[in-house]
Amino acid sequence: MTMNAKSNVHTFDRRLLARMTGNLGDDQTVGKLAEELGQVFSEFLPDILNSETQQDITITYAGFESGLMSKLVTNLGDGVGLCNVGLRNWCQDFILGIDSPAIIGLVEMLLGASASEVEESKPRQLSDIELDVAAMVFEKIAEVLKTAVNAPGGFEPVLGRPFNAGGKPSAVAEEEDVFAACINISIGLGPILSTFSIIVPQQPLLKTTIVFPKGTGQNRKAKTEWGEQLEQQVRRSNVNLEARIKLQSLTLNAVSRLQPGDIIPFHDAKDVRVEVNANGRDLYICEFGRSGTRYTVRIKDTHGSDNDILNHLMS
């Protein structure tokens, strides 16, 4: 064999090898797992954070990305707090990240600022005090994650000290870099809308069955059933209606002199307009009339659709 002979050794496609060995999943599979995880967080994390901070916080799933772990971490940018986490019997090395504006705003609120006074700041490096608050948030995120992935053994997550992106260079060699998923979840705090992320290797993620903690599905079903029952009850309930007819204007002096038997003309000369309301909300525009010996109103128009009226009566 000469030096000029072509080699028969070819580099195997890395993505294909990862697919074959269970280290990389298709977008549909990874997306389904990410969305289920996001649903668990949206159900449970707001109450947990509220109990710790006394602040109203909203959580919603915000999509996912797939790629090499180092690239996904880099894509988060520089204004992000990061934390290395391990959960025995699930994944020994994954990363949590959170946008700095969420932590900055939370610190201001914990120091006494109201939600209306806080403004969303530009992403920046977090101070030591802000990193301490980030540690508390990361602990609660890890707590929900542990329950959702149901790792056997009941082990607690082990969290490292939070650090600023760019402040702790990765020592992972390129050939050791793994395919991962970055699961993004939005966190709303007053006027601030930020994101926290879970960056986890796909190998353990693809083996995971997301568990909705006991009561999640039942609570959602109960809320739906309760709403339906309430709607049916409202539909069967009697509603007290009131009709207002505008009368002709009189001077204050004339009003003060009115006596029993005096007559005040309607404001309208022909079709007398009547506003019908319930619970302080105008429902119908009617005209005044008479049917036999009874005075009546005839509906001419409505204030909103059937659903609008029903939702008002239910509120």
Distance between CA 82 and CA 99 in Å, rounded?
9
Distance between CA 163 and CA 128 in Å, rounded?
9
- Provide the pLDDT for residue 169: 47
- Provide the pLDDT for residue 11: 66
Joined together, the tokens standing for residue 82 give: 């990061």
Q: What is the SS3 assignment for 6?
A: coil
Sorted by where each starts, the structural domains of the chain and their CATH numbers stand as 14-216 (3.40.1550.10), 236-314 (2.30.330.10)
Output 121-125 pairs: Cβ under 8 A, ≥24 positions apart.
Answer: 122/79, 123/77, 123/78, 123/79, 123/80, 123/99, 124/79, 124/100, 125/78, 125/79, 125/100, 125/164, 125/167
- Provide the pLDDT for residue 230: 45
* pLDDT tens sequence for the chain (315 residues): 455 555 555 566 677 776 766 667 788 899 999 999 999 999 888 888 887 777 888 899 999 999 999 999 999 999 999 999 999 999 999 999 999 999 998 888 888 777 778 888 899 999 988 999 999 999 999 999 999 998 888 899 999 999 999 755 444 445 578 999 999 999 988 888 999 999 999 999 999 899 886 654 445 454 445 445 545 554 565 677 888 888 888 888 888 888 888 888 888 877 888 888 876 678 888 888 887 778 888 888 887 776 666 656 554
Provide the strand spans (E) within 190-315.
Answer: 192-201, 242-245, 273-278, 281-291, 294-302
Joined together, the tokens standing for residue 16 give: 């294909």
Output 251-259 pairs: Cβ under 8 A, ≥24 positions apart.
Answer: none
- Provide the pLDDT for residue 266: 87
Model pTM above 0.75: no
